[in-house]
Amino acid sequence: MDDAAKERLRKAFVRDGFVVVQGLLPVEEAQGLRSALTATSGVTDGDFKDVVDGVPRKWTKPAGVATEEAFQHLLVDERLLEVARTLLGEGVRYLHHNDLHAGYSSPGWHRDNVDRVHGVGGDWEEGDEAYRMLRIALYLQTHAESGFRFGLIPGSHRRESRLVRWERKAPRFSTVRRWLLGQRLAFARSRWIATEPGDVVFFDHRVLHCGGRTRGPKYAVYLGMGVQNRHFNRHWSYYRDHRTDLAYPAVPEKVEALLRERGQWPEQAIPRIDDVGSAYLPNAA
């Protein structure tokens, strides 16, 4: 990637909170990951014949990229790391927030960070340290076979209007909106990405996003990367210590050794951080 391309990516990421890099992985490699995912999950293309209301059979494995050998190489993949460094700067490290999905999708608009109400909580306080983390999405099916599109609201990592906040909370209005507009929001301009195998989406965890309805197979791999600071530590502790509903396992020793060897393991130990009063905590023990 030349300097001009990197600068375009950086500007787009600052503005929108996400970028799409088409064809970052060869199609054949993406197909291999798909085969590994079907073998790991037990979910095959035939299981998507029973899609109901655009939401197929769900299977997901928290920390699956770190714990399943067939996917561990992605954690130190230089192509992914080059883009991550372009967007965040030097010092990018492994972030213990990764998942494998076969059919799993969240059709409602949401965020993946700790504090999911815009402007409320530590994720939105950047006066001392910037929020420098990425969610990295690899979708492994074609748009033609699935109809899946990944929806994002550009700039929602920086701003959110009162009207958007209201419409996401108003159940009666949301019912009418879904009837008239489908998954689109009435008061925000969304961008829907029809990904192909090998395309990779890099996005700030705070960006509002939504999994589109599907009519067929859907397979995805998600990774986390970031620059270690208080936001990074808090995010790691949130998924490790507070999202008990997900039961995140520890990083396998073999994987930690690989990450240390490649300079991708955090330089400082991740403390337990209990300042999560404004965090999203569903069904936590």
* pLDDT digits 0-9 by tens, 98-145: 999 998 878 789 999 999 999 999 999 999 999 999 999 999 999 999
Q: Which pLDDT belongs to residue 285?
A: 45
Residue with tokens 């130990």: 269
- Calpha distance 179→176 (Å, rounded): 5
Question: Which of 276 and 30 is assigned the larger pLDDT?
Answer: 30
Alpha-carbon distance values, 270 to 65, 119, 228, 232 (Å)? 20, 25, 9, 9
Domain boundaries, the chain: 3-261
33 touches 140 (CB < 8 A): yes
For the ranges 83-87, 90-94, 149-153, 211-215, the lowest mean pLDDT is seen at: 211-215
Nearest to 136 by CA among 283, 20, 16, 263: 20
Question: pTM for this structure?
Answer: 0.93
Task: Compute and round to an integer the Cα radius of gyration of the chain.
Answer: 18
For the segment 29-35, the average pLDDT, to the nearest whole number, is 98
Q: Which pLDDT belongs to residue 207?
A: 98
What is the identity of the amino acid at 246?
Answer: L
For the segment 44-55, the average pLDDT, to the nearest whole number, is 75
- Calpha distance 19→207 (Å, rounded): 11
Nearest to 196 by CA among 142, 136, 137, 147: 142
Chain centroid, CA 167 distance in Å:
23
CATH of domain 3-261: 2.60.120.620
Element spanning 220, H or E:
strand 219-227
Residue with tokens 């997901």: 60
User: SS3 of 110, please?
Assistant: strand
Percent of the chain residues topping a pLDDT of 70: 91
- Calpha distance 113→208 (Å, rounded): 10
Q: Which pLDDT belongs to residue 206?
A: 98
Write the CB contacts of 103 (distance below 8 Å, at least 6 apart in sequence): 43, 47, 48, 56, 57, 58, 59, 217, 218, 219
Q: Which pLDDT belongs to residue 164?
A: 80
For the ranges 51-60, 155-164, 202-211, the lowest mean pLDDT is seen at: 51-60
Q: Is pLDDT of 176 > 70?
A: no
